[in-house]
Structure 1
Amino acid sequence: MQAVLDTIVGKIVDAVIQSVVVHVGFVFQYKKKQKKLEVEIKSLEEQRKQIKEKVDEAITRGEEVDERVLNWLAEVEERVQKIKDDSTINENMQCFKFSCPDYISRYRMSKEAENKMEEVKNLTQSGNFSTVAHPKPFAQELQFPSSSANYANFESRELVFNNIMVALQDSNVKMVGVYGI
């Protein structure tokens, strides 16, 4: 009976000690957690910058940017700014105007840094897009009425018209020039 009681008490004591060690670690590792948070934020900002560049390239090519990408960019911008604003708390706070460190504030800052780090990691993972845009649908083919009184459809014009349409549909062609009467 005594052996069973000793093992149960031992397990309870071990669990309590582990919990205390974890929470005490928050007090003394707050600077380390703040640095890790800064590294994660820099990584997220770099990812945001790369995706923003891809979006700008897609817009330049005339593609339509996916809504989920635009929403992610806006969310990252908002959350990163909020996290940076929240991180302006003075980490050297003193308790009761004396020279002892404020352990409660250190604990709180460490817990907040850990929670924010998890949020930043989630944003980083959700920002892994295979594509950021897709081509816009082509416009309907131009139709000219052949029975117009002001327009006569000649074979020579049809060849030029077809060449212009091919050039307009080619994504490598940057400029089309039409000259003549």
Structure 2
Amino acid sequence: MKDVIWSPDELLLHWAEKAMRLAYNGFGVSPLAVQFWPALCTVAVSSVAFLAMSVTVDPTYLFVCGVCVLWTIRFWKNNGSLRTDAKKDWSADLFRAYAVKAASLRTETAWVRYLMLMTALVVTVVCCSDITAEIRALATWQRCVFPLDIWALVALAYSWSAEPPEPGDGDRLGFARRA
């Protein structure tokens, strides 16, 4: 039986693990693709939304658009090995490499995940409320872009720290066949 979940961090790690397992076992999608593509696409598409907001609402959103574009380019360049591994079949070698990385991230970056989670909650509350005239000037879809980006980054942090699913290539004992 699974351990009792004591914190929101453990719950979100559990959900990230389940999502990767569902994507792999149910749809055949590599867990590394689940870690790489959703956050990248969300922030890249939201940069277009911020560009539209800079034209229709306020030109200062152009700065936020630029930050999103720079983050997307940096993420693309810095995660070349993850991008390459995401195209490969999920194997025991990849499982071992990324399971060790996930285990170290789980222990070393818990405070970062908590900080990101709290930031996402605060931004969601602020964007959904009518605190300032600037927020009231935004349309509903525009209000959703801010929290969506931050929640995508939270999901990225939790998917990187979650235990990846075991591959189905019959290598349960740790004997990888090398070609």
User: Do the structures match in fold with TM over 0.5?
Assistant: no
- Structure number with greater CO (CA < 8 Å, separation at least 6) is 2
Structure number with greater Rg is 1
Relative to the length of structure 2, the TM-score reads 0.34
TM-score (norm 1): 0.34
Which one has a larger percent helix, Structure 1 or Structure 2? 2
